[in-house]
Amino acid sequence: MAYLSGMTDTTKKGERIARRMARAGLCSRREAERMIAEGRVTLNGEPLSSPAVNVTADDIILVDGQPLPAPAPVRLWRYHKPRGLVVTERDEKGRPTIFDRLPGELGRVISVGRLDINSEGLLLLTNDGALARALELPEKGWTRRYRVRAFGHVKPQALEALKDGVTIDGVRYGGVQARIDREQGDNTWLTFAIREGKNREIRRICEHLGLKVNRLMRIAHGPFQLGDLPRGGVEEVPRKQMREQLGKLLERLEEPAREGGASRRGANRGGKGGGSHARHRR
């Protein structure tokens, strides 16, 4: 068979096997590719040597001899990230990560973009890597809103000029909407709305304006709002809202699991390995 000899088999419908394994909550795509390379995965009774294989619901996938759990529905959560946590799977400096603090029942989740260690507020989490990548793309067109407290003062005209974009130290930032909410002693409270979300974008723009950020909170990511979610709190986005906001994207992500029928789904659910393998990314 093509997938035994190392040749690719991507002609049939379905989804790549690494994504299928990730959607089952077993591991990340990268970890799935490593498992395949180590010979730990069989497809329809034969060892698999290449991740470049498409699978459908009719295929029987075993990992370490155990059936792969059925793919979980695509899920999305709102998380109120506190300051002092990094958004990474493992931190080389040993700093605490969001994945150290999330409730265990969430299973393996992926962040949609990042917030730096000193930023707080809304962070979207999902169990589907393809959804995370899709929502991170600037062309998605979602506006991200932030409340900012900064030391110093700025004139409204300087903020108005940001609508056309700005170049700072050779980096071009797209149009930014910003307004002054109030001035409080030596500090100014502002609201920023951006679409690109480049690394430390708001902090660098504020520095360019002579402001020093001392608090930065994301309050919205597209249609999803932080609201009154408590610091450190996690709340799942209702399925109805996901369908309303994600529409065809959600359908496209879940469609591969339905292709090819369901004649062998019971085999993928049964056995000792039918339970959840999900975990946080640590």
Environment class of 209 (CB within 10 Å of its CB; exposed 0-12, middle 13-18, buried 19+)? buried
Cα end-to-end span (Å), the chain: 36
Environment class of 190 (CB within 10 Å of its CB; exposed 0-12, middle 13-18, buried 19+)? buried
Which candidate, 19, 34, 100, places its Cα nearest to that of 64?
A: 34
Selected catalytic residue, list 64, 100, 116, 181: 116
Which candidate, 144, 160, 149, places its Cα nearest to that of 190?
A: 149
The dihedral over CA atoms of 232, 238, 239, 244, expressed in degrees to the nearest 10, equals -110
For the question of residue 59 being annotated catalytic, the response is: no
Which candidate, 25, 86, 99, 98, places its Cα nearest to that of 280?
A: 99
The single-letter DSSP state of residue 209 is T
Cα angle for residues 54, 30, 60 (degrees, 5° grid)? 35
Which candidate, 87, 205, 73, places its Cα nearest to that of 150?
A: 205
Measured CA to CA in angstroms, residue 179 lies from 95, 104, 121, 139, 162 at distances of 34, 39, 19, 24, 10
Task: Assign 136 to helix, strand or coil.
Answer: helix
Report d(CA 194, CA 122) in Å as an integer.
14
Residues annotated as catalytic are 116
